[in-house]
Amino acid sequence: MVYNKNIYYLSKEDKTAWSSDEEFAREMLAGVNPVLIARLDEFPPKSTLDTNIYGDQTSKITEEHIKDGLDGLTVNEKIIHMLLMVLRFGQQSKHGRRFLPESGTPDYKELESNPEKAFLRTITSQLQALVGVSVIEILSRHSSDEVYLGQRSNPEWTLDKEALEAFEKFGEKLGEIEKKIAMRNKDPQLKNRVGPVDMPYTLLFPTSSEGLTGRGIPNSISI
């Protein structure tokens, strides 16, 4: 079975918008990309890519790699059993301090009669706000020994030459992305890139220096 998906509008305007993801996926599953998804009818999957252009893309995935997960729970079952705890952080309605009042309740009547008072109830106290801002600031800082995406703390993390070459290419791609973002920040025609306050976009810059910089993608996002 083959599912043909429409290419996103952004992809039509900028072919590089998804090429990095497509290339990254191809390193893992030869021949699979976000535009064409096919159900496997043989295992291991065989690549249809031109070896003269892309080299040997024979899948390295074996049954040994996946057999332990074949009898596991599905994602929905794990969520139901509360095994994927990180997903539960998004279940608080509106991510707010209080739920929106329901019609017919005293809180709803207060919202109708005195909206300013109802609004003030949603604001944290000065102490709570100070603690919250302080925690966010601490968590937003980069440590001096931070390892960023495309980097390894140990350069000899594997002896697999092919994996090392792929990782090196991935790092080079990240460098190109950073240069492209910097170039777009300087383009006055792209108002959404800079804005009226002339503040450049840096959040997806792969690397950063120590401290609160507003840039840098850690190699681990377990927070």
pLDDT attached to residue 204: 82
CA 196 centroid distance within chain: 27
Cis bond before residue 44 (omega within 30° of 0): yes
Instruction: Give the chain's mean pLDDT.
Output: 70
190: amino acid identity, one letter: L
Helix (H, G, I), strand (E, B) or coil at 37: strand
pLDDT attached to residue 90: 35
113 pLDDT tier (thresholds 50, 70, 90): very high
Tell me the CA distances in angstroms from 86 to 79, 158, 168, one per residue in order.
Answer: 10, 30, 31
- Tens digits of residue pLDDT in 193-220: 655 677 788 888 888 888 888 888 877 6
Q: Is the pLDDT of residue 24 over 80?
A: no
Tell me the CA distances in angstroms from 20 to 5, 118, 167, 172, one per residue in order.
Answer: 18, 47, 13, 11
Cβ atoms 31, 47 nearer than 8 A: yes
High-pLDDT (> 90) share of the chain, %: 1
The more confident residue out of 98 and 102 is 102
pLDDT attached to residue 6: 45
The more confident residue out of 129 and 42 is 129
> Could you give the CA distance from residue 50 to residue 43 in angstroms, rounded to a whole number?
20
Of the candidates 152, 159, 141, 149, the residue with the CA atom closest to the CA atom of residue 209: 141
pLDDT attached to residue 133: 80
> Could you give the CA distance from residue 8 to residue 174 in angstroms, rounded to a whole number?
22
Structural element, H or E, at residue 72: none
pTM: 0.48
